[in-house]
């Protein structure tokens, strides 16, 4: 049989839908990692799923995995043949941070993402189905790696629980303080697997959330785990025509680097991108706002202007940059509207949203417009991630 992944995927029926569980993840993780010393983490689950497929599809006798190991990964972004380091991709979304680290020679050995639509996009581009809910995974079930990546969601941290435990005479550490939040899962994996470095990404408001207490807990947790911590709020506008500020947190294992890593956040280029440079030449009429919606947005903006509020639509200067695109963009597109001569303004197309985040044009968008808007609104500015990743990888490779 053909040894291209696309043909093997078709033969075995590896697809992602709303009912996808972890079985395709075990199989695709094994297929991508059978030669790099981490296959034992995935092989039992992969074998069970493969045997189930063979029986269900009546594929006949087989020598096992040997019949289904791809010789060619014909996906848009295949992993490097001779990787320089290993990393894991948590809260992976559609793989924006992975793109940066893979481009720099890294091999992703574990991926986790709970949303099945995002899994579908991830699989289409990287040939790997992410595992689901990371809270259900033991730290010991995750392969060793040198870099941990996580765009973890920000959730409120309960500081009150600390005083309660003090009153009860119970010991607690910062790791214990984060229980009940998704950051806890990042922290417990770091504690157990001891990657040389990590890179975390979040909204800039993480710094000020709960009067700074949330970020203080996160920072102290990482330091208590034995890592030096670097953080900075960076704006994607230096690479793409979008104002998008995010906090990047980078850490290095003190036992490995002794706090002497040469890491510094990159000096970013002067912003020069214009929104008109990423627009498609021909756009379907369905992206133009209806008269009813356009009238509603104008009335809504006028009403809030009278009250002194800043709420309203964002009609873009084509020679300028946009506001921050969000996951709610699918609702009405109001934060970023493109003016049109003699017509109502229009939404960005999904491909334009991808470009606004710095995704290359060969990045496949296999989902509906609604899901695509959510995915790119939730994602990262890829070239900004790449700029920081270069600095992290430089330290990792120098340490080797």
E-strand ranges in 32-167 read 85-90, 106-111, 147-150
pLDDT at 170: 45
Share of the chain above pLDDT 90, in %: 74
Q: From the centroid of its chain, how far is CA 75?
A: 18
pLDDT for the residue numbered 66: 77
Q: Give 178's pLDDT tier (boundaries 50, 70, 90).
A: low
Nearest Cα to 218, choosing from 257, 251, 261, 259? 251
Distance CA(340)–CA(333), nearest Å, equals 15
pLDDT at 209: 80
Task: Mark whether 281 and 393 lie in a shared domain.
Answer: no
Residues 95 and 136 in one domain: yes
Which residues does residue 337 pair with via DSSP β-bridges, in sequence order?
Answer: 315
Q: β-strand 85-90 against 106-111: which pairing, if any?
A: parallel
Q: What is the mean pLDDT of residues 196-223?
A: 90
> CATH number of the domain that 368 lies in?
3.90.120.10
Bridge partners (DSSP) of residue 150 are: 90, 200
Which pLDDT score is estimated for 2?
64
194: left (phi over 0), alpha (psi -120 to 50) or beta: left
- Per-residue pLDDT, averaged over 126-141, amounts to 95
For the cut 50, the answer to whether the pLDDT of residue 131 exceeds it is yes
pLDDT mean across residues, the chain: 90
Residue 46 has pLDDT above 80, yes or no: yes
pLDDT digits (tens, 9 = 90+) for 271-284: 999 999 999 999 99
For residues 176 and 80, state if they share a domain: yes
Q: Which of 31, 47, 74 is the last residue of a domain?
A: 74
Counted domains in the chain: 3
Burial degree of 44 (CB within 10 A; 0-12, 13-18, 19+) = exposed
Residues 237 and 112 in one domain: yes
In the beta sheet, which residues pair with residue 340? 343
pLDDT tops 60 at residue 293: yes
- Of the listed ranges 20-24, 148-152, 164-168, 346-350, the least confidently predicted one is 164-168
Is the same domain home to 214 and 359? no
Q: From the candidates 154, 254, 268, 364, which is the catalytic residue?
A: 154
Structural domain for 100, as ranges: 75-269+381-399
Whether 154 is a known active-site residue: answer: yes
> What's the confidence (pLDDT) of residue 310?
60
Say whether both 132 and 237 belong to one domain. Answer: yes
- 48 confidence band (pLDDT: 50, 70, 90): very high
Residue 174: the pLDDT is 57
| Average pLDDT of the segment spanning 17-45 | 92
Mean pLDDT of 245-267: 97
d(CA 231, CA 234): 9
190 and 122 part of one domain: yes
Determine the average pLDDT of the residues in 175-201: 88
Same domain, 63 and 110: no
What pLDDT is attached to residue 18? 87
Query: Once rounded to an integer, what is the mean pLDDT over residues 361-365?
Result: 98
Q: pLDDT tens digits, residue range 51-60?
A: 899 888 887 7
Query: Could you tell me the CA-to-CA distances from 167 to 178, 192, 324 in Å, in that order?
Result: 18, 29, 44
Q: Which of the residue ranges 200-209, 330-339, 367-376 would you say has the lowest mean pLDDT?
A: 200-209
> Model confidence over 89-116: pLDDT tens digits?
999 999 999 999 999 999 999 999 999 9
Q: Are 388 and 101 in contact (CB under 8 A)?
A: no
pTM across the whole model: 0.92
As a whole number, mean pLDDT of residues 296-309 equals: 79
């Amino acid at each position: 049989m053909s040894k291209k992944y696309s043909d093997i995927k078709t033969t075995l029926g590896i697809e992602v839908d709303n009912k996808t569980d972890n079985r395709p993840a075990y199989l695709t993780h094994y297929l991508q990692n059978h030669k790099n010393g981490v296959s034992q983490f995935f092989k039992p689950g992969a074998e069970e799923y493969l045997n189930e497929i063979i029986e269900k599809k009546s594929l006949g006798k087989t020598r096992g995995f040997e019949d289904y190991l791809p010789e060619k990964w014909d996906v848009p972004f295949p992993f490097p043949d001779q990787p320089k380091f290993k990393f894991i991709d948590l809260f992976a979304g559609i793989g924006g941070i992975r793109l940066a680290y893979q481009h720099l020679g890294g091999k992703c050995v574990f991926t986790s993402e709970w949303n099945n639509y995002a899994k579908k996009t991830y699989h289409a581009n990287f040939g790997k189905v992410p595992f689901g809910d990371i809270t259900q995974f033991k730290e010991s079930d995750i392969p060793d790696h040198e870099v941990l990546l996580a765009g973890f969601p920000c959730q409120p941290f309960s500081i009150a629980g600390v005083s309660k435990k003090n009153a009860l005479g119970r010991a607690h550490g910062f790791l214990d303080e984060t229980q009940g939040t998704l950051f806890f899962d990042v922290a417990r994996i770091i504690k157990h697997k001891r990657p040389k470095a990590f890179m975390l990404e979040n909204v800039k408001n993480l710094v000020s959330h709960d009067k700074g207490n949330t970020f203080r807990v996160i920072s102290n947790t990482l330091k208590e785990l034995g890592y030096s911590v670097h953080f900075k709020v960076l704006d994607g506008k230096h690479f793409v025509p979008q104002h998008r500020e995010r906090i990047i947190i980078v850490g290095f294992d003190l036992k490995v680097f002794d706090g002497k890593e040469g890491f510094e956040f990159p000096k970013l280029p002067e912003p020069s991108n214009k929104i008109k440079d990423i627009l498609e030449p021909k756009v379907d009429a369905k992206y133009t706002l209806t008269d009813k919606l356009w009238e509603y947005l104008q009335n809504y903006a006028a009403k809030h202007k009278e009250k002194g509020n800043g709420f309203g639509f964002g009609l873009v200067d084509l020679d300028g940059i946009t506001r921050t695109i969000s996951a709610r963009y699918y609702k009405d597109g109001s934060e970023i509207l493109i003016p049109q001569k003699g017509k109502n303004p229009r939404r960005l197309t999904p491909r334009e949203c991808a470009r606004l985040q710095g995704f290359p044009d060969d990045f496949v968008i296999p989902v509906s417009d609604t899901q695509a808007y959510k995915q790119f609104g939730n994602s990262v500015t890829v070239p900004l991630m790449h700029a920081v990743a270069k600095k992290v990888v430089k330290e990792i490779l120098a340490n080797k």
